[in-house]
A and B are shown apart, each in its own frame.
Chain A
Amino acid sequence: MNQKIDLLAATLLAVALAFGNAWAAAPAAAKKSTADHAKFKELQKAFTTGPDVTKACLSCHTEAAEQVQHTKHWTWEYTDPKTGQKLGKRAIINNYCTTTISNEKDCMACHAGYGWKDASFDFKAVENVDCLVCHDSTGTYRKLPGFAGHPVYERTEFPKGSGKFVEAVDLQKVAQKVALPSRANCGACHFFGAGGDGTKHGDLDSALKNPPKALDVHMDAKGLNFSCVKCHSTSGHEVSGSRYEMAAALKGHARVRGEADDEPASCQSCHGDKPHHENPLFVERLNAHTDKLACQTCHIPEYARDGVGTEKSWDWSTATRMGPEGKPVLVKDSAGRRAFDSKKGNFAWDSYLVPEYRWFNGQVTYKVKGDKIDSSKIVEINHLEGKVNDPDSRIWPFKVHRGKQVYDTENNILIVAHTAGEDESALWQSFDWQKAITAGMKTAGLPYSGKYGFVSTEMSWPITHMVAPKGDALRCAQCHGGESRLAGIGGLYLPGFNGNRLVESIGWGAVALALIGVLIHGFTRICFFCNKKPKETAQ
């Protein structure tokens, strides 16, 4: 009988080790491609443009472009299946750069395509799909603002008049060195959202190209070294895990990679909903928290935990103000980050920021172009749904970006302004709001009353990257102590933080009674001892 148990245990151990080895070996195996693209005849020629490279790619990867054309990376459009609301960069006006509409030539530096400079862009042309932006492994493929999604094909001064030059991309070299997307590929856009390193998300910046374990345990360059697509697993070029379609409260066991999973880019996908197991004293208590808290709430104690930092606010109302000589100026803050730009207004930056916490069930409603606003209040660009006692809600950490942005004071709608570009109506050329607004609203097909003002806005971004080592996770007292991080969350009784006068009165009353009892008892014994002693001496 014992031999059978030993045999079973040994078999289980062997299976476990085999799985472990397969898991550990997976990244190394991924690097060993079965194809050397440099040997492909289709790629052994000089390419003139990006679309030429795409045509060569499609001669083998026949379905790739069509697959890409069905994704948000191509359409920049998403329809919320629950609300029917049209979202994506073609519909939302955010409180950073505000909108891509009428600014396509600049913004499309981050589109996975070539040539989107205005509404005439052909979304069906397969050669317009940019394969290289996601698959370049040389680090030399760059798309700059102002080129409608094309890289530079000849040596170009950038920015114009700066005296700095960007060399032409060697398309043949890049095409011959394609690979699975690395952190640098995804990061080329997602680390630099809103026009600068770390600006937008707060939990994504260039420090994640080569991060230490303290910054992100999963992407740790010397450890697990996860690429983005390790979690955001991809099928047919459809990348999983988007803030437009979030599930905030996942349950169930951990899944082995490859097992069918609706939310592979979630913590629970690998860790399950009872992830704590190290310390038997705390296991039950910690695991019980998962029905109220998102994993990120404790395991990302601060975001932007690096020297890059992130933008906290953007005030467009000071844009177009000139320097003392009447010329545009650029002012940096004490840490060397942008603080004021005549083109864009004022900014505030910081790093190691404590998130703001909200109940969240994964559903977000957005203000999109043309939506009415109430300018007497702070406008929520996106409203997070979720509440206490909702089984689909958890307390999530967010970066809340605050700003002031331009709106139509008569029609009460957020304005689409034509900011980028080299034409006279572009704000960054003319420094004239009226011209920029008129051009932008016309392109967007929105009415404009001719009167504008600036309204305070907020936009919330879920924090889900920069997962700290477990030793750096939040301590109990950081929520349950007097200065609780969850102080403003509401609807929750937090032992150690929330007070109940009746319970506290009973508790302190019991303590006082116990103390009185001890004192009376002690005093009685002392008296008894003092009275007894002389008698003993007399005897």
Chain B
Amino acid sequence: MLKAIGGLIVGVLGTLAVVWNMAGNLVFNEQESPYTVEETVARIQQNIQAAGNGWSLMGLRNPIKPIQADGGDALPALMIEACSSKYSGPILKDDKIRFLSILMPCKISVYKKSNGKVYIGTMNAGLIGSMFGPLVGDIMKNVVADQQKFLVMDPTKPAPPIVLPKTGGEGGSGGGSAGGC
């Protein structure tokens, strides 16, 4: 009996360890970009602006700036913020799930690693959405579908200019351009 309980505990702990180890990979996605950080950002921004479904750019943050202001430095990273009024509206109107506003606006991070390659980091909105009932789950499915379109970059199109925030939106401060949320 003791052996069976012991085995069960070891099994549960082992499973938890595996889940814990994989959780990061499940919640976040990372993919390589063939372009520079700036061009990747600009192309994603262009896709967001062309996506419809109420999507608009909310801002562009540079998390490296505060580090540089403190005398340090790090490889480039830029965070695109985008929001869709079509998808955010129903969530923000429901008191039970308004706390999910913490996930707004949607963020896409573009960064360089020390191997010299540029990567795009996104959140797995589908997985997160499935944890909060059918309303959020359905919305997040649409968000995921749109997000995938944001990351499709056509090399035959010329590089667009990066869209810089009109006010604030950099260095960890608030603000950003007018958006849909």
Contacts and interface: CB of A to CB of B under 8 A. Distances in A.
B6 interface: no
Which of B39, B73, B159 has the most chain A CB atoms inside 10 A of its CB? B73
A354 B117 CA distance: 9
Contacts of A334: 36, 38-39, 41-43, 159-162
A352 B78 CA distance: 14
Nearest to A312: B36
Nearest to A356: B116
Contacts of B160: 334
A402 to B, nearest CB: 15
B74 to A, nearest CB: 9
B158 A352 contact: no
Nearest to A483: B115
A354 B115 contact: yes
A472 to B, nearest CB: 7
14 contacts: A214-B68, A302-B75, A302-B116, A334-B43, A334-B159, A334-B160, A336-B161, A336-B162, A350-B36, A351-B76, A354-B114, A354-B116, A478-B114, A483-B115
A472 B73 contact: yes
Interface string A50-64: 000000000000000
Interface of A: 212-215, 301-302, 305, 331-336, 339, 349-354, 468, 472, 478, 483, 485
B76 A214 contact: no
A213 B39 CA distance: 28
B133 interface: no
B141 interface: no
Interface in B24-61: 36, 38-39, 41-43
Given A335-B38, A354-B114, A354-B116, A213 B71 contact: yes
B72 A332 contact: no
Contact of A333 (B71, B73, B114, B159): B159
Nearest to A485: B115
B137 to A, nearest CB: 35
> Which range holds the interface residue count of chain B?
20 to 34
B38 A333 contact: yes
A212 B115 contact: no
Contacts, number: 52
Nearest to A472: B73
Contacts of A339: 159
Contacts of B36: 333-335, 349-350
Contacts of A213: 71
Contacts of B43: 334
B162 A335 contact: yes
Contacts of B38: 333-335
A331 B158 contact: yes
Given A352-B76, A352-B112, A332 B71 contact: no
A299 to B, nearest CB: 14
Nearest to B75: A352
A538 to B, nearest CB: 20
Given A214-B73, A334-B41, A334-B162, 20 more contacts: A214-B71, A302-B75, A302-B114, A305-B73, A331-B158, A332-B161, A333-B36, A333-B38, A333-B39, A334-B36, A334-B38, A334-B39, A334-B159, A335-B36, A335-B38, A335-B162, A336-B161, A339-B159, A352-B76, A472-B73
A212 B161 contact: no
Nearest to A334: B42
